[in-house]
Amino acid sequence: MQSSANGALVEVQPSTQLEAGEEELRGWLLDASGIKAPLQQLVLDWTSERDGFQRFSIEASDDLQHWQFWGEGQVARLAFADERVEQHEVGLPGQSARYLRLLWNTPQSAPILTSAQLQSTGPRSLSLPLVWSQALAGNTVKAGEYTWQLPMGLNVERVQVALDQPNSLAPVTLSGRRESSLPWQPLSGGLLYRLTQSGQDVVQNELQLSGQTVQQLKLTVDERGGGLGTQAPTLKYAVRATQLVFLARGPGPYTLALGSATAKAANLPLATLIPDYSAAKLVTLGRASVGGGTVVAAPPSTVSAPVGTDWKKFGLWTVLLLSVLFLAAMAFSLLRKPPANS
């Protein structure tokens, strides 16, 4: 593989000379050197003679010599209910790389790609991993429609729907909103499936989102493929990990307290906390590791928070009581007054 001075690929040739008829297309090398932001999604299209599922591994490199495994990708083109159902999108880990290498696993030979698009996110000072939640139980609204309630408003980037039934195939649309009073907004869509191929399960159960803040999710399923069952499937969601930068004052270990309603905010802008702050300088900072955690249980009795005095209500009650006392005094004085002489 040869590249130019600016990193653009110039030529890709096999390492050994092959005879005619021995060549087999095993994969593709993508040049992403012109993209300076973390890669979020890969969109592929290929020639029409290759239908079915395409499974391949994804590797990334900056020098064409050392490769890092980024996981596996799946795309598909199927005939479904007299329609064509296609899955072109593959999620990427949100990291930067100059080159991507796609090596086909199933089938062994790669199709002829007609286009390959890479979608990136905004630049990050430090690439942070995705953190997956525990399985979340859902509710069935009606046939083919399920909802889930998240514990709070979260910037969800991916969801994973449990496909418990074998031979499941369902085009879906995912919607979300912040609260029940707001209308549903479409977030993502795609094809979910769990099919048996060559004695093995082929599963595609993830949908990629843009990171919009949501607290409620709704999945609408096209049930012409059999749906996902009467019971709402469980769902896992992934959010980007949070990074905390703090001033290490005094010897460690240090304590990080989360969830305290009485704690006062003490956050500062990074430019204030770190003189001459830059993304390059942030990478050189020391890293703190978690050495243990303590869960503080809530007190058995709940003490209501102090509420400020409502002076308006207090004044009205005072006036009312004084009026009642004044009327009572007038009545008492009239009863004690002697009758007038005729």
| pLDDT (tens digit per residue) in 137-193 | 999 998 889 999 999 899 999 999 999 888 888 889 999 999 999 999 999 988 888
**Given 240, 265, 293, which residue is the final one in a domain?**
240
What confidence score (pLDDT) does residue 162 get? 93
- pLDDT, tens only, 254-302: 877 766 667 777 778 888 888 887 777 777 888 887 776 565 555 454 4
In degrees and rounded to multiples of 5, residue 258 shows phi and psi of: -120, 145
The answer on 110 and 138 residing in a single domain is no
Task: Let me know if residue 245 belongs to a domain.
Answer: no
The answer on 185 and 212 residing in a single domain is yes
Strand, coil or helix: 333: helix
CATH of the domain at 54: 2.60.120.260
**Given 216, 240, 264, which residue is the final one in a domain?**
240
Task: Let me know if residue 281 belongs to a domain.
Answer: no
Task: Let me know if residue 158 belongs to a domain.
Answer: yes
The answer on 217 and 155 residing in a single domain is yes
The answer on 224 and 187 residing in a single domain is yes
The answer on 90 and 36 residing in a single domain is yes
> Within 10 A of 263 (CB to CB), how many other CB atoms are there?
9
The answer on 108 and 202 residing in a single domain is no
The answer on 86 and 177 residing in a single domain is no
- As for how many domains the chain has, the answer is 2
**Given 240, 262, 277, which residue is the final one in a domain?**
240
Which of the residue ranges 192-206, 235-249, 280-294 would you say has the lowest mean pLDDT? 280-294
- Residue 311 CB burial class (10 angstroms; 0-12, 13-18, ≥19): exposed
Q: Is the peptide bond before 233 cis (omega within 30 degrees of 0)?
A: no
> How confident is the prediction for the chain on average, in pLDDT?
81
Q: Is the Cβ–Cβ distance between 24 and 18 less than 8 Å?
A: no
The answer on 147 and 116 residing in a single domain is no
Task: Let me know if residue 160 belongs to a domain.
Answer: yes
First to last CA, the chain: 130
The answer on 154 and 229 residing in a single domain is yes
Judge whether residue 42 has pLDDT over 70.
yes
Task: Let me know if residue 83 belongs to a domain.
Answer: yes
Q: Is the Cβ–Cβ distance between 76 and 84 less than 8 Å?
A: no
What confidence score (pLDDT) does residue 61 get? 93
* CB neighbour list of residue 21: distance below 8 Å, 6 or more residues apart: none
The answer on 145 and 221 residing in a single domain is yes
The answer on 135 and 87 residing in a single domain is no
Q: Is the Cβ–Cβ distance between 202 and 193 less than 8 Å?
A: yes
The answer on 162 and 105 residing in a single domain is no
Domain ranges, residue 226: 130-240
| Amino acid sitting at position 205 | N
Task: Let me know if residue 37 belongs to a domain.
Answer: yes
Task: Let me know if residue 170 belongs to a domain.
Answer: yes
Place of tokens 């010897």: 251
How far out from the chain centre does Cα 132 lie? 8
